[in-house]
Amino acid sequence: MLRVSDETRERVLRIGRDEFGGASADETVRRLIDEHWQAAAVAAVRRYREADPQGWADYVAESDEIAAADAPIGDEWVADRG
C-alpha cells in the first residue's frame, strides 16, 4: 500500500479522470511513471548529443546504415507476398 496525502490522492484521481479517460489511481500512477521514464530517456539522449557531438553523429550514421540495409529485404518480402 502506498500512503499519500489526501491532496495527492485527489490530484492523481483528477489526472486519471481528466487526462487518462477515467483511469484508476493505480493505472494513473503507472502511466505517470512511464511518462517520467520516457522524459528521463529523452533528456539522457539530449545530454549525450550535446556532450559528444561526434559520438552522436557516429551513432546516427550507424543507425542509418543499419536501417538502409534492412529496408530492401523487407520490401522484397512484401512484394513477393503481394
**pLDDT tens per residue across span 1-53:** 889 999 999 999 999 999 999 999 999 999 999 999 999 999 999 999 999 99
Angstrom distance (rounded) from CA 4 to CA 11: 11
Q: pTM (2 decimals)?
A: 0.69
Q: Which three cell numbers stand for residue 28?
A: 494513473
Angstrom distance (rounded) from CA 45 to CA 37: 12
11 — phi, psi (to 5°)? Answer: -65, -45
Let me know: does 20 contact 13? Beta carbons within 8 Å: no
Angstrom distance (rounded) from CA 42 to CA 78: 33
